[in-house]
Structure 1
Amino acid sequence: MDQARTRQQADTAVKSATARPDVTVFFDERTSSAQYVVADPASGKCAIIDPVLDFDEKSGSTSRENADRLLAFMSENGLELEWILDTHPHADHFSAASYLKEKTGKPIAIGEKVVEVQKLWKAIYNWPDFTADGSQWDRLFADGDTFSIGTLPVKVMFSPGHTLASITYVIGDAAFVHDTLFMPDSGTARCDFPGGSAERLWNSIQKILSLPDETRIFVGHDYQPGGREPRFESTVAEQRATNSHISKCKTETEFVAMREARDKTLPMPKLILHALQVNINAGQLPAPEANGKRYLKFPLNALESSSWG
């Protein structure tokens, strides 16, 4: 039995190392967010990762332009959607997961620790009737869970630190890390949101960087330092050697001190209080009230320790 399990694990590792998904990025300039269509070239099956539902905080207007762009791309290229995946409840944009499920009927998924994020923000929003059990998604992934996109093997890695619920999707030779690592010239993600932890982020990054050197790393944001063109792809080897935070911080203690000092200087994302009430609900907008209008709710002074910007 042990020998059979060992052979199965070895076969899975070989398949993951040799499988190479086709990855197409869609950049949302408004939020500097990367959305991905990840396709299996052998079967034409695909998944969407971290789709954006457009929102203009000045006018309160929403739009489906980004999500519809993903749907059009799949249609034009003959791709069949299998999964709609989020890496975590985002603090800087609305998730389009529920809209895409409505349009396609395909399942939406996120990490199982989203329940802890729901409980935390349920209290912040004073939302007593909110259901904080993760039932808004079709599947909640645990660390080490596996599934497939066509013939592509997928493994889930629990990657907390930026949030309580962050996960990484390792799809063949590609890892979708969202807010853990950024491109090497931008370093790592902040950890000062409610439930964040620089210690946990360090450990999550070490696990990601233990993947094979040639593993492609796809990030969730790019803020284009120095005004360069947006970039989203690196490798484990590049990150380990040149990441502006990881290559300089050789120990957890050094990293935590650097990360926490930096976080104290950062203002909160401008959409954090808009976005979390939507994203802990799988991207569902608030229900219309008696007049047919939808309303967001803002807790005042809930994030008082943050820097103003």
Structure 2
Amino acid sequence: MSEKRELPVLDADAAGLKPDCANCFGLCCVALPFETSSDFAVGKAAGTPCANLREDFRCGIHHQLRERGFAGCTVFDCFGAGQKVSQVTFAGRDWRESPETARRMFAVFPVMRQLHEVLRYLTEALARPQARTMRGELRRAFDDIDGLTRGSAEEITRADVAAIRQRANGLLLRTSELVRAEVPGRKKDHRGADLIGARLRGARLRGASLRGAYLIAADLSGADLRMADVIGADFRDADIRDADLTDCLFLTQAQLDAAKGNAMTRIPSTLLRPGHWLS
């Protein structure tokens, strides 16, 4: 009788779920719209190249985005969708040299980004030892979505993203419950809560559910957020200086980039400390 083989654990790098701008045709700078606001010095329509996009598809003010009024660009994460659309879906044909691809490419990109975001969360769930009993289900969900992302432009744009996200969310929620069950005692439930500007300095939020919570400008300095589920939480301008986000569930680089931290902010080893944080 053969032994049951353990499924290999994926990581975001190996799965191509981190941005690789060198292999992207500047899709986030073209396909998506943005309005003039505190995040964008000027607005533009979807499908219109940003004025700062160079001929080589690089940003002309990349190292001055915050200073030039484009903070919104610094907190955007395509989860690797840009290079997938550019190099896989359209096989390296860019929208400038092949204008006939532009409309389809710009339609595929936002759908691909959503699919890649789901893949990013499933990848993390697969790596959680507490979810070992779910790895078969998680891997099947991952493989199904990953297969879709490698289909034609038409197949991708026809995808029922809402249904895909709903099915995946059920698995992610179960994963969250398994992980957070290891935290003793009663866990706080702030799912979808309006915590804008909330005073949570030093708060004990270990194992809490902050799924979809609005944490804009909240004071979370010194807070314990270990094993807290923060999927979809809005961390814009949240103060997380000296906070502990070690082993935080479903925390993304974009969420960290949007927050205000420092050298004492503890973050998962898979993420990078934003360069604009105070030392």
TM range (shorter): under 0.3
Normalised to the residue count of structure 1, the TM-score between the two structures is 0.23
Bigger proportion of residues as strand? 1
* Structure that is richer in helix per residue: 2
**Structure showing greater relative contact order (alpha-carbon pairs closer than 8 Å, 6 or more residues apart):** 1
